[in-house]
Structure 1
Amino acid sequence: AVQASTDPLIQYVLAIDADARAVRTQWDNTVKAPTDRASEQLAAARFAVFGDAVYPDATGTLRLTYGRVEGTDVPGQRIPAFTTFAGLWDRATGAEPFNVAPKLLAAKDRIDPNAVMNMAVSSDTIGGSSGSPAVNAKGEIIGANFDSTVLTQRNAYGYDRNVNRSVIVTTQAVTTALRDVYGMDHLIAELGVDAPKAAPRRARR
Protein backbone atom coordinates (compact mmCIF):
# COMPACT_ATOMS: atom_id res chain seq x y z
CA ALA A 1 0.00 0.00 0.00
CA VAL A 2 2.88 2.37 0.81
CA GLN A 3 4.66 1.60 -2.44
CA ALA A 4 1.47 2.14 -4.42
CA SER A 5 0.55 5.40 -2.71
CA THR A 6 0.29 8.50 -4.88
CA ASP A 7 0.78 10.85 -1.92
CA PRO A 8 3.61 13.23 -2.95
CA LEU A 9 5.29 13.17 0.45
CA ILE A 10 5.26 9.37 0.63
CA GLN A 11 6.67 9.19 -2.89
CA TYR A 12 9.40 11.65 -1.93
CA VAL A 13 10.41 9.61 1.12
CA LEU A 14 10.41 6.41 -0.93
CA ALA A 15 12.71 8.07 -3.46
CA ILE A 16 15.34 8.98 -0.86
CA ASP A 17 14.83 6.07 1.54
CA ALA A 18 17.72 3.90 0.35
CA ASP A 19 20.22 6.77 0.33
CA ALA A 20 18.98 8.02 3.74
CA ARG A 21 19.39 4.57 5.28
CA ALA A 22 22.89 4.24 3.82
CA VAL A 23 23.94 7.61 5.25
CA ARG A 24 22.43 6.72 8.63
CA THR A 25 24.30 3.41 8.69
CA GLN A 26 27.55 5.14 7.80
CA TRP A 27 26.98 7.73 10.55
CA ASP A 28 26.19 5.07 13.15
CA ASN A 29 29.27 3.01 12.27
CA THR A 30 31.89 5.72 11.76
CA VAL A 31 30.72 8.49 14.12
CA LYS A 32 28.22 7.42 16.74
CA ALA A 33 29.74 4.06 17.68
CA PRO A 34 33.29 5.40 18.24
CA THR A 35 31.92 8.43 20.10
CA ASP A 36 29.81 6.23 22.36
CA ARG A 37 32.83 4.04 23.18
CA ALA A 38 34.96 7.10 23.92
CA SER A 39 32.22 8.52 26.16
CA GLU A 40 32.11 5.27 28.12
CA GLN A 41 35.88 5.36 28.58
CA LEU A 42 35.76 9.00 29.67
CA ALA A 43 32.97 8.25 32.15
CA ALA A 44 35.00 5.36 33.59
CA ALA A 45 38.05 7.60 33.93
CA ARG A 46 36.04 10.32 35.68
CA PHE A 47 34.61 7.78 38.11
CA ALA A 48 38.09 6.37 38.80
CA VAL A 49 39.35 9.85 39.71
CA PHE A 50 36.35 11.44 41.42
CA GLY A 51 34.37 8.44 42.63
CA ASP A 52 30.95 9.45 43.92
CA ALA A 53 32.03 13.03 44.65
CA VAL A 54 30.34 14.07 41.41
CA TYR A 55 27.29 12.59 39.79
CA PRO A 56 27.73 10.76 36.46
CA ASP A 57 26.96 12.26 33.10
CA ALA A 58 23.58 11.36 31.61
CA THR A 59 24.22 8.16 29.67
CA GLY A 60 20.73 6.91 28.93
CA THR A 61 20.02 5.81 32.49
CA LEU A 62 17.53 7.39 34.88
CA ARG A 63 18.84 10.71 36.15
CA LEU A 64 17.53 12.94 38.91
CA THR A 65 18.43 16.58 39.41
CA TYR A 66 17.22 19.16 41.88
CA GLY A 67 17.01 22.91 42.22
CA ARG A 68 15.00 25.81 43.60
CA VAL A 69 12.23 27.75 41.94
CA GLU A 70 13.99 31.07 41.46
CA GLY A 71 14.60 33.72 38.85
CA THR A 72 17.95 35.15 37.91
CA ASP A 73 19.39 38.64 37.96
CA VAL A 74 22.25 38.05 35.54
CA PRO A 75 22.92 41.20 33.47
CA GLY A 76 21.27 40.80 30.10
CA GLN A 77 19.07 37.97 31.31
CA ARG A 78 16.96 39.14 34.22
CA ILE A 79 13.98 36.83 34.53
CA PRO A 80 11.36 36.28 37.26
CA ALA A 81 10.72 32.98 38.99
CA PHE A 82 7.20 32.81 37.55
CA THR A 83 5.35 33.92 34.43
CA THR A 84 1.57 34.18 34.21
CA PHE A 85 -1.08 34.28 31.52
CA ALA A 86 -1.33 38.02 32.17
CA GLY A 87 2.30 38.32 31.10
CA LEU A 88 1.49 36.34 27.96
CA TRP A 89 -1.28 38.77 27.02
CA ASP A 90 1.00 41.74 27.72
CA ARG A 91 3.57 40.44 25.26
CA ALA A 92 1.16 39.31 22.56
CA THR A 93 1.80 41.49 19.51
CA GLY A 94 0.06 39.38 16.89
CA ALA A 95 3.34 38.95 15.02
CA GLU A 96 6.23 36.51 15.28
CA PRO A 97 7.63 35.61 17.70
CA PHE A 98 4.84 36.92 19.95
CA ASN A 99 1.71 35.83 18.12
CA VAL A 100 -0.53 33.77 20.39
CA ALA A 101 -2.27 30.68 19.03
CA PRO A 102 -5.78 31.72 17.86
CA LYS A 103 -7.58 29.12 20.00
CA LEU A 104 -5.72 30.26 23.11
CA LEU A 105 -6.39 33.90 22.36
CA ALA A 106 -10.08 33.14 21.85
CA ALA A 107 -10.23 31.72 25.39
CA LYS A 108 -8.62 34.78 26.98
CA ASP A 109 -11.75 35.85 28.89
CA ARG A 110 -12.12 32.36 30.36
CA ILE A 111 -8.55 32.16 31.68
CA ASP A 112 -7.47 33.43 35.08
CA PRO A 113 -4.76 35.98 34.21
CA ASN A 114 -2.94 35.19 37.47
CA ALA A 115 -2.61 31.49 36.67
CA VAL A 116 1.09 30.58 36.55
CA MET A 117 2.29 29.40 33.14
CA ASN A 118 5.97 28.72 33.64
CA MET A 119 8.55 28.75 36.38
CA ALA A 120 12.33 29.01 36.35
CA VAL A 121 14.22 26.37 38.31
CA SER A 122 17.94 26.20 39.08
CA SER A 123 18.15 22.52 38.13
CA ASP A 124 20.87 20.90 36.04
CA THR A 125 19.24 20.00 32.71
CA ILE A 126 20.36 19.92 29.09
CA GLY A 127 19.04 18.89 25.67
CA GLY A 128 17.12 15.63 26.01
CA SER A 129 15.59 16.57 29.36
CA SER A 130 12.43 17.94 27.77
CA GLY A 131 9.30 16.23 29.02
CA SER A 132 10.84 15.27 32.35
CA PRO A 133 8.41 15.68 35.26
CA ALA A 134 9.12 18.30 37.91
CA VAL A 135 8.31 17.02 41.39
CA ASN A 136 8.19 19.02 44.61
CA ALA A 137 9.38 17.96 48.08
CA LYS A 138 6.00 16.34 48.75
CA GLY A 139 6.31 14.08 45.71
CA GLU A 140 3.67 15.99 43.77
CA ILE A 141 4.08 16.58 40.04
CA ILE A 142 4.06 20.34 39.58
CA GLY A 143 5.04 20.62 35.95
CA ALA A 144 7.23 19.38 33.10
CA ASN A 145 10.61 20.58 31.90
CA PHE A 146 10.47 21.86 28.33
CA ASP A 147 13.15 24.52 27.84
CA SER A 148 16.01 26.44 29.39
CA THR A 149 17.37 29.97 29.31
CA VAL A 150 20.03 30.89 26.75
CA LEU A 151 22.96 30.88 29.18
CA THR A 152 21.99 27.37 30.28
CA GLN A 153 23.14 25.99 26.92
CA ARG A 154 26.69 25.94 28.27
CA ASN A 155 25.42 23.38 30.75
CA ALA A 156 26.73 20.73 28.35
CA TYR A 157 30.15 21.59 29.78
CA GLY A 158 29.46 22.76 33.31
CA TYR A 159 26.70 23.71 35.73
CA ASP A 160 26.52 27.19 37.23
CA ARG A 161 23.82 27.73 39.85
CA ASN A 162 23.92 31.50 39.25
CA VAL A 163 22.78 31.31 35.62
CA ASN A 164 21.37 27.84 34.98
CA ARG A 165 17.59 27.97 34.76
CA SER A 166 15.34 25.23 33.45
CA VAL A 167 11.92 26.36 32.25
CA ILE A 168 9.01 24.32 33.61
CA VAL A 169 5.45 24.53 32.32
CA THR A 170 3.21 24.19 35.37
CA THR A 171 0.45 21.70 35.96
CA GLN A 172 -1.76 24.73 36.57
CA ALA A 173 -1.10 25.94 33.02
CA VAL A 174 -1.80 22.50 31.56
CA THR A 175 -5.01 22.18 33.57
CA THR A 176 -6.07 25.67 32.49
CA ALA A 177 -5.48 24.84 28.84
CA LEU A 178 -7.32 21.51 29.02
CA ARG A 179 -10.28 23.06 30.83
CA ASP A 180 -10.63 26.61 29.53
CA VAL A 181 -9.15 26.36 26.04
CA TYR A 182 -9.91 22.85 24.81
CA GLY A 183 -12.88 21.93 27.01
CA MET A 184 -11.44 18.52 27.88
CA ASP A 185 -13.18 18.08 31.23
CA HIS A 186 -13.28 14.32 30.67
CA LEU A 187 -9.48 14.21 30.50
CA ILE A 188 -9.18 16.36 33.63
CA ALA A 189 -11.50 13.95 35.41
CA GLU A 190 -9.45 11.00 34.17
CA LEU A 191 -6.29 12.61 35.50
CA GLY A 192 -8.00 13.10 38.86
CA VAL A 193 -7.27 16.81 38.93
CA ASP A 194 -9.29 18.86 41.36
CA ALA A 195 -9.76 21.84 39.06
CA PRO A 196 -13.03 23.73 39.50
CA LYS A 197 -13.84 25.85 36.49
CA ALA A 198 -12.62 29.41 36.84
CA ALA A 199 -15.16 32.18 36.61
CA PRO A 200 -14.92 34.29 33.44
CA ARG A 201 -12.89 37.45 33.87
CA ARG A 202 -16.00 39.58 33.22
CA ALA A 203 -17.66 38.04 36.30
CA ARG A 204 -14.81 39.10 38.54
CA ARG A 205 -15.02 42.79 37.68
Structure 2
Amino acid sequence: MSKLRVESFTISLDGFGAGPDQDLNNPLGVGGTSLHGWAIPTKTFQKHLFGNDVGATGIDEDFAQRGFQNMGAWIMGRNMFGPVRGPWPDESWRGWWGENPVYHVPVFVLTNHARPPLVMEGGTTFHFVTEGPMVALERARAAAGGKDVRVGGGVNTIQQYLRLRLIDEMHIAISPVLLGAGERLFEGINLPALGYACTRHESSPLATHVVLTRQ
Protein backbone atom coordinates (compact mmCIF):
# COMPACT_ATOMS: atom_id res chain seq x y z
CA MET A 1 0.00 0.00 0.00
CA SER A 2 1.13 3.54 -0.66
CA LYS A 3 2.59 5.51 2.23
CA LEU A 4 1.15 8.63 3.82
CA ARG A 5 4.05 11.04 4.21
CA VAL A 6 4.82 14.49 5.56
CA GLU A 7 7.75 16.08 3.74
CA SER A 8 9.76 19.29 4.15
CA PHE A 9 7.53 20.53 6.97
CA THR A 10 9.52 23.11 8.90
CA ILE A 11 9.21 24.09 12.54
CA SER A 12 11.00 26.75 14.55
CA LEU A 13 13.31 26.08 17.48
CA ASP A 14 10.35 26.76 19.78
CA GLY A 15 8.21 24.25 17.91
CA PHE A 16 5.95 26.39 15.74
CA GLY A 17 5.01 25.21 12.26
CA ALA A 18 3.28 28.50 11.37
CA GLY A 19 3.17 31.99 12.75
CA PRO A 20 0.03 33.71 14.09
CA ASP A 21 -2.53 35.77 12.17
CA GLN A 22 -2.47 34.23 8.72
CA ASP A 23 -3.85 36.58 6.09
CA LEU A 24 -3.37 37.48 2.45
CA ASN A 25 -0.05 39.19 3.18
CA ASN A 26 1.16 36.48 5.57
CA PRO A 27 0.26 33.08 4.08
CA LEU A 28 2.36 31.28 6.72
CA GLY A 29 1.34 33.60 9.54
CA VAL A 30 3.39 36.50 10.83
CA GLY A 31 7.04 35.48 10.72
CA GLY A 32 6.29 32.11 9.15
CA THR A 33 8.25 32.76 5.97
CA SER A 34 11.47 32.86 8.01
CA LEU A 35 11.12 29.13 8.67
CA HIS A 36 11.98 28.25 5.10
CA GLY A 37 15.43 29.77 4.72
CA TRP A 38 16.80 26.27 4.13
CA ALA A 39 14.25 25.34 1.46
CA ILE A 40 13.84 28.34 -0.80
CA PRO A 41 17.42 28.32 -2.19
CA THR A 42 17.35 24.61 -3.09
CA LYS A 43 17.25 23.49 -6.69
CA THR A 44 13.94 21.69 -6.09
CA PHE A 45 12.13 24.68 -4.62
CA GLN A 46 13.59 27.07 -7.17
CA LYS A 47 12.23 24.82 -9.92
CA HIS A 48 8.78 24.22 -8.44
CA LEU A 49 8.13 27.71 -7.10
CA PHE A 50 9.89 29.93 -9.60
CA GLY A 51 10.62 27.83 -12.69
CA ASN A 52 14.38 28.30 -12.31
CA ASP A 53 16.90 25.69 -13.44
CA VAL A 54 19.53 26.60 -10.86
CA GLY A 55 19.65 26.33 -7.10
CA ALA A 56 21.56 25.07 -4.10
CA THR A 57 22.52 21.41 -3.77
CA GLY A 58 23.65 19.40 -0.75
CA ILE A 59 21.75 18.07 2.27
CA ASP A 60 18.92 20.60 2.06
CA GLU A 61 18.37 19.83 -1.61
CA ASP A 62 18.42 16.09 -0.92
CA PHE A 63 15.55 16.46 1.56
CA ALA A 64 13.64 18.91 -0.61
CA GLN A 65 13.90 16.57 -3.59
CA ARG A 66 12.66 13.49 -1.71
CA GLY A 67 9.40 15.30 -0.97
CA PHE A 68 8.37 15.03 -4.62
CA GLN A 69 9.55 11.46 -5.22
CA ASN A 70 6.84 8.84 -5.85
CA MET A 71 4.09 11.32 -4.95
CA GLY A 72 0.69 10.65 -6.51
CA ALA A 73 -1.59 12.98 -4.54
CA TRP A 74 -1.60 15.58 -1.77
CA ILE A 75 -3.85 16.37 1.18
CA MET A 76 -3.99 19.81 2.77
CA GLY A 77 -6.15 21.79 5.15
CA ARG A 78 -8.38 24.69 4.22
CA ASN A 79 -5.94 27.22 5.72
CA MET A 80 -3.09 25.98 3.53
CA PHE A 81 -5.24 26.50 0.46
CA GLY A 82 -5.96 30.11 1.35
CA PRO A 83 -7.00 32.77 3.87
CA VAL A 84 -10.76 32.62 3.16
CA ARG A 85 -12.75 31.49 6.23
CA GLY A 86 -16.28 30.17 6.59
CA PRO A 87 -18.58 29.54 3.62
CA TRP A 88 -17.00 30.33 0.27
CA PRO A 89 -18.35 33.75 -0.77
CA ASP A 90 -17.58 32.84 -4.40
CA GLU A 91 -15.01 30.84 -6.37
CA SER A 92 -12.61 33.70 -7.03
CA TRP A 93 -9.92 32.42 -4.64
CA ARG A 94 -7.82 29.88 -6.56
CA GLY A 95 -4.90 29.33 -4.18
CA TRP A 96 -1.57 31.01 -3.47
CA TRP A 97 0.27 29.50 -6.44
CA GLY A 98 -1.15 31.05 -9.61
CA GLU A 99 -2.75 29.11 -12.44
CA ASN A 100 -0.04 26.43 -12.54
CA PRO A 101 0.44 25.27 -8.91
CA VAL A 102 3.47 23.31 -7.79
CA TYR A 103 1.63 20.02 -7.20
CA HIS A 104 0.88 18.60 -10.69
CA VAL A 105 -1.24 15.84 -9.11
CA PRO A 106 -4.71 15.75 -7.48
CA VAL A 107 -4.91 17.72 -4.21
CA PHE A 108 -7.59 17.02 -1.60
CA VAL A 109 -8.50 19.99 0.61
CA LEU A 110 -10.15 19.35 3.98
CA THR A 111 -12.97 21.84 4.55
CA ASN A 112 -16.37 22.18 6.19
CA HIS A 113 -17.79 23.99 3.18
CA ALA A 114 -18.42 22.32 -0.17
CA ARG A 115 -17.01 23.66 -3.39
CA PRO A 116 -16.77 22.17 -6.91
CA PRO A 117 -13.38 20.76 -7.99
CA LEU A 118 -10.96 23.40 -9.21
CA VAL A 119 -9.03 22.34 -12.30
CA MET A 120 -5.71 24.14 -12.77
CA GLU A 121 -2.87 23.96 -15.27
CA GLY A 122 -0.14 21.33 -15.11
CA GLY A 123 -2.26 18.45 -13.86
CA THR A 124 -3.32 19.95 -10.51
CA THR A 125 -6.98 19.64 -9.52
CA PHE A 126 -8.14 20.75 -6.08
CA HIS A 127 -10.90 18.55 -4.65
CA PHE A 128 -12.73 19.92 -1.61
CA VAL A 129 -13.60 17.20 0.89
CA THR A 130 -16.22 17.84 3.57
CA GLU A 131 -16.44 14.29 4.94
CA GLY A 132 -13.27 14.38 7.06
CA PRO A 133 -9.69 13.12 6.98
CA MET A 134 -10.44 9.42 6.44
CA VAL A 135 -12.51 10.08 3.33
CA ALA A 136 -9.89 12.51 2.04
CA LEU A 137 -7.23 9.83 2.46
CA GLU A 138 -9.34 7.19 0.71
CA ARG A 139 -9.89 9.49 -2.25
CA ALA A 140 -6.25 10.57 -2.34
CA ARG A 141 -5.00 6.98 -2.34
CA ALA A 142 -7.40 6.07 -5.12
CA ALA A 143 -6.20 9.06 -7.17
CA ALA A 144 -2.52 8.32 -6.42
CA GLY A 145 -2.69 5.01 -8.27
CA GLY A 146 -0.31 3.16 -5.96
CA LYS A 147 2.06 6.07 -5.37
CA ASP A 148 2.44 7.81 -2.01
CA VAL A 149 0.21 10.57 -0.63
CA ARG A 150 1.73 13.69 0.93
CA VAL A 151 0.12 15.62 3.76
CA GLY A 152 1.18 19.16 3.04
CA GLY A 153 -0.19 20.86 6.15
CA GLY A 154 -1.03 22.91 7.97
CA VAL A 155 -0.40 22.02 11.58
CA ASN A 156 -3.97 21.02 12.43
CA THR A 157 -4.24 18.72 9.41
CA ILE A 158 -1.00 16.91 10.27
CA GLN A 159 -2.14 16.55 13.88
CA GLN A 160 -5.39 14.92 12.79
CA TYR A 161 -3.56 12.26 10.80
CA LEU A 162 -0.97 11.74 13.55
CA ARG A 163 -3.64 11.10 16.16
CA LEU A 164 -5.22 8.56 13.82
CA ARG A 165 -1.80 6.86 13.47
CA LEU A 166 -2.08 7.12 9.70
CA ILE A 167 1.15 8.96 8.85
CA ASP A 168 3.85 6.45 7.96
CA GLU A 169 6.79 8.85 7.78
CA MET A 170 7.53 12.50 8.50
CA HIS A 171 10.45 14.63 7.40
CA ILE A 172 10.62 17.59 9.76
CA ALA A 173 13.12 20.39 9.21
CA ILE A 174 14.02 22.38 12.33
CA SER A 175 14.96 25.92 11.38
CA PRO A 176 17.22 28.02 13.66
CA VAL A 177 14.62 30.75 14.18
CA LEU A 178 12.25 31.64 17.02
CA LEU A 179 8.64 32.61 16.30
CA GLY A 180 7.35 33.01 19.86
CA ALA A 181 3.73 32.38 18.85
CA GLY A 182 1.66 30.53 16.30
CA GLU A 183 0.77 26.85 15.91
CA ARG A 184 2.98 24.24 17.58
CA LEU A 185 3.19 21.09 15.50
CA PHE A 186 3.46 18.64 18.38
CA GLU A 187 1.23 20.44 20.88
CA GLY A 188 -0.63 17.72 22.81
CA ILE A 189 0.93 14.97 20.65
CA ASN A 190 2.68 12.04 22.36
CA LEU A 191 4.77 10.71 19.50
CA PRO A 192 6.26 7.65 21.28
CA ALA A 193 2.80 6.59 22.47
CA LEU A 194 1.58 6.84 18.88
CA GLY A 195 4.41 4.59 17.73
CA TYR A 196 6.79 7.12 16.17
CA ALA A 197 10.57 7.12 16.50
CA CYS A 198 13.40 9.12 14.96
CA THR A 199 15.04 7.00 12.28
CA ARG A 200 17.30 9.56 10.63
CA HIS A 201 18.81 12.96 11.41
CA GLU A 202 21.19 15.17 9.48
CA SER A 203 22.15 18.82 9.70
CA SER A 204 23.07 21.56 7.29
CA PRO A 205 24.08 25.12 8.17
CA LEU A 206 20.42 26.16 7.68
CA ALA A 207 18.39 23.35 9.26
CA THR A 208 18.37 20.10 11.19
CA HIS A 209 16.49 17.41 9.28
CA VAL A 210 14.82 14.56 11.14
CA VAL A 211 12.78 11.64 9.83
CA LEU A 212 10.14 10.17 12.15
CA THR A 213 8.80 6.75 11.24
CA ARG A 214 5.80 4.87 12.59
CA GLN A 215 7.08 1.58 13.94
TM-score interval (norm. to shorter): under 0.3
TM-score by length of 2: 0.23
After TM superposition, the score normalised by the length of structure 1 is 0.24
- Bigger relative CO (Cα 8 Å, ≥ 6 apart): 2
